[in-house]
A = this chain, B = another copy of it.
Amino acid sequence: MSTWIRHAWIGPVKLTRLSDIRRKELRQAAFAVLEREGIAGATLEKVAAQAGASKGIVLHYFRNKQELFEHAMREANAVLCHAVVARLQRARTPMERLDAVIEGNFEEHLFLPPLCHAWLSLCAEVPRDEKLARIQKVIHARMRSNLLSGLRGLASPELAEEIVLGVTALIDGLWLRLGLQPGSVTREQAVRQVKDFVTGRLALRQPAPVELASAG
Contacts and interface: CB of A to CB of B under 8 A. Distances in A.
A193 B179 contact: no
B193 A169 contact: yes
10 contacts: A38-B125, A120-B124, A127-B179, A165-B177, A165-B185, A169-B170, A169-B176, A172-B176, A172-B177, A200-B201
Contact of A123 (B162, B176, B204): B176
B176 A166 contact: no
Interface string A119-145: 011011111100001001100100000
B117 A120 contact: no
Contacts of A168: 173, 177
Main secondary structure of the interface of A (DSSP, over half): helix
Contacts of A140: 180-181
Contact of A170 (B170, B181, B199): B170
A41 interface: yes
Interface in A84-119: 113, 117
A136 B181 CA distance: 9
Given A117-B127, A169-B177, A172-B176, 4 more contacts: A117-B124, A133-B180, A137-B181, A165-B177
A196 B204 CA distance: 8
Of A136, A162, A189, A204, the most chain B CB neighbours within 10 A belong to: A204
Contacts of A62: none
A11 to B, nearest CB: 43
Nearest to A201: B200
A180 B126 CA distance: 7
B37 A128 contact: yes
A176 B179 contact: no
B169 A173 contact: yes
B193 A200 contact: no
Contacts of A125: 38, 40
